[in-house]
Chains A and B, each alone.
Chain A
Amino acid sequence: MTTTAIQTPPTAFTTLALDNWKLAIAGGLGVSISACLAMPATSSFWVVAVMMALVAVTFVVNAFRRHYYGGLLVSPAIAVLFVMNIFPLLWSLGLSFFSYQSNQQAIRFVGLANYSKLLTDDLKAPELWANLTNTAMFTVLTVSVQMVIGFLLAVLFAKQFPLRRYLLILVLTPMMLSVVAVGVFFSYYYDPTFGVISQIIKAWTGEQFILFSSKAGAVAGIVFADAWMWSPFVMLLVLAGLVSVPTYLYEAAAIDRVGSWRRFWTITFPYIRGLLMLALLFRTIEAFKMADLIILLTKGGNDTMTISYHVIRIANEQNKTSEGAALSYLLLFVVIVLTNLYLYIANRRSQGN
């Protein structure tokens, strides 16, 4: 759809009109700040909300009068994004500078104390560091295992063989299961008394096998469960790339007697590289947030605590809202740095080619 914006002179700043968004912002800010200073929080919150709504109305009226229909069409999405995402994000940023617990009424401004406590306190900082290290370890291990297995599965399913369709459905099933079901399933799978792994090993050695008795075992168990669940996701993406390679390229390569390794690097890989990078990005984001499987399998025991589980515990269970918010912002910072690094590498590679 094309829209024609009408070039009308902008409304003067001092004109009292419904499309004067500049005045609305200035007035809204003034009223909001005064309300925050003069009124109790329960009332000033609503004053600020009304001011924000007023600004939003002036934006809409302004867009409507000037026929910015494109902007009007996306405005509901922006409004939802603002209310559900950006506003809570800013709110929690504000909270991180206060001393506030959700189960207590008192609130006090403490500046950067929450951040400095998390980073320098001799009890909290080592815990944060240990949990970050564990998260990095889980991210590297689960994502690498999933990428390799997912890729190999995709190569397998790109070929035609009997019962392929049925096996494909079977392989995709874990991805569709609820994490809770997978967690319960694997907790029995690994159980030393009832579990099938222990029973098989016991048939050989005569001793029950306690996988979760060491950190290495617990990590292996969690990585395996996560890979079992999410490798099919990588496979699905890679498979989409593999089936999109035109067969005439392979035929030409066969005529030229190109070796299978070179055929893969020069024909197949360029087609799936983008999808592999996408799978890597999705899985890394998910792995960085890992908490559910750990809660279900080890409850963070055996030194398997991750940073997400740590945040859940601080913010939701211990009700230390401000400290949880500060920790979340530290995490956000890590994520932004990592994402930018990833995008930089991805861009450089695509430009290099």
Chain B
Amino acid sequence: MKYKTRLKSFATALSFVSLMTVGGAIKASAEDVVLHMAVPDWPPTRIMKDMFDREYKPASGNKVTLDVDFIPWPDFYTRVNASLTSGEKKYNMAVSDSQWLGAFIEGGYFRKINDLIDADPDLKKAMDGMHPKILNAYSTYPNSTANYYGFPQFPDILVSYARKDIFCNDEEQKNFKAKYNKKLPCTGEEFDDVDWELFGNIGEFFMRKKGDMLAGKPADDDFYGVGFQVGKGYDFSTSSVNSFIWQAGGDIWDETKAPDGHAEGQVNSDVAVKALDHMLSFIKYMPPVAKTGTMDIFKTDELFRAGKIALNVDWVGLGEASLDPKTSQVADKLVFGMAPGTRGADGKLNRTSQIGGQPFVLTTWNTDIINKEAVGFVKWWLSKDVQTEYASKGGQSAIKDVYSDPKYSTYRPWNRTWASSLDYQKDMWHVPQFYDLLTQQQDQYDLAITGKQDAKTTLDNVAKYQENLLKEAGLIK
């Protein structure tokens, strides 16, 4: 009896232990994985997080959580930079502006992803299906080489935001024709064909004082012709100046031509000086805040939504607020077109433009399991269905299969311009010294924008500084 009892208790204990072991094994095979990610706080990242929480089922069977730090845009660079350089190793993934790549790759923070792409046919297919201009801008370091670091999170381009109620008004159409002998654009397709000359005409034409007639009614406040970013913060004036210089046939310092390509002579070439002067000539048609050097992408968007500007050029990423009647006084009066370009002798528009948007990257300290889950998340994110759903909710996609679907242009009114604009996108430098190059340039452009310095002196100062800095850094001979 005693023996039996012992045997019984031994068997019970054994079954308990095996139960625990099996349970433990199950638990071990389904791990809790948390992906910590730093992102800017705006709709394109909020939509991503929302979609992840509701829809993402990892193929591995692990429980994957996306822990996102939503950081306000004005602090985004400072916060991410501080986190990475402090060595706290807090983030496994981060949204990064494309021009940060060099600085953070050289610092050893952003992980090269070529091996991950090569090891995964699905991921390779997704990357191959991406528009090459986007891939170059968001992934490569050194710029435009086959060394990949980033996956697109939200690709972005500049588009024209216009007031249909004003542009399509018969009276305004008639007066514009009489004054400039040109047709005032009214439809999206007509806005696609706006060059900078017509843009200037529009700017001049729609400068109205309070009480002046505007689209058949007296204007309730001063009204301004045009708007685009010319602010001192971050890269706001640089983004505009770059586009003007590229379209005029000039160039900024081109890192792909290093070490022989110099800054002096190129940055301050006659073409570049003329292009900067051309850009500055539109400031007089903008709301007066432009003259203070604080007209950034948010200010020009705010002024447009408050009904103060006829034609605004801004990022697609800020577009949602203009369509929402709660945040926009012009929500029901909008028409969108491609951003203006420079017309060549052949009559075609050169639309080369500074690219916006951001990739997201993996950090170098991730463990294998984190990398595996991060790649799983990226594959899900770049899959056709998910990208299509993202676009339908206000995001954008750089995957050809997604944006070439005819339905894509119906998701948002500016999507009509998306596919054709992508070919013209170009990025600024990816070198580690980018912030140094950028801040000095922004300071100099600010002096030109606020009328304290002419274009020639401005670009001479920029060129001299860049030549010196890049030589010291060993990037040019």
Contacts and interface: CB of A to CB of B under 8 A. Distances in A.
Interface residues of B, number: 42
Contacts of B82: 316
B477 to A, nearest CB: 20
Given A317-B77, A318-B436, A319-B81, A212 B294 contact: yes
Contact of B232 (A206, A300, A318): A300
A4 B337 CA distance: 86
Interface in A180-232: 187, 191-194, 206, 208, 210-213, 218
Nearest to B291: A213
B106 A103 contact: yes
Interface in B285-308: 287-289, 291-294, 303, 306, 308
B450 A193 contact: no
A103 B288 contact: no
Interface residues of A, number: 30
A65 interface: no
B contact face: mostly helix, strand, loop, or mixed: helix
A339 interface: no
A301 B287 CA distance: 18
B289 A299 contact: no
Contacts of A303: 447, 452
B232 A299 contact: yes
B435 interface: yes
Contact of A191 (B77, B232, B289, B464): B289
B232 A301 contact: yes
Interface string A118-158: 00000100000000000000000000000000000000000
Nearest to B87: A102
Contact of A212 (B81, B86, B221, B292): B292
Contacts of B465: 123
Contacts of A192: 287-289, 292
A210 B231 CA distance: 15
Given A103-B432, A105-B107, A210-B288, A302 B446 contact: yes
Contacts of A318: 435-436, 439
B222 A208 contact: yes
B103 A301 contact: no
A123 B464 contact: yes
Interface string A330-350: 000000000000000000000
A46 to B, nearest CB: 15
A15 interface: no
A319 B450 contact: no
Interface string B54-83: 000000000000000000000001100110
Given A213-B450, A301-B294, A301-B450, A208 B103 contact: no
Given A103-B103, A103-B107, A301 B446 contact: yes
B443 interface: yes
Most chain B CB within a 10 A radius of its CB, from A102, A193, A317: A193
Interface of B: 77-78, 81-82, 84-86, 103-104, 106-109, 209, 221-222, 231-233, 287-289, 291-294, 303, 306, 308, 432, 435-436, 439, 443, 446-447, 450-452, 464-465, 468
Closest 4 pairs (CB-CB, A-B): A212-B292, A103-B107, A301-B293, A192-B288
5 contacts: A103-B432, A193-B288, A299-B231, A301-B232, A303-B452
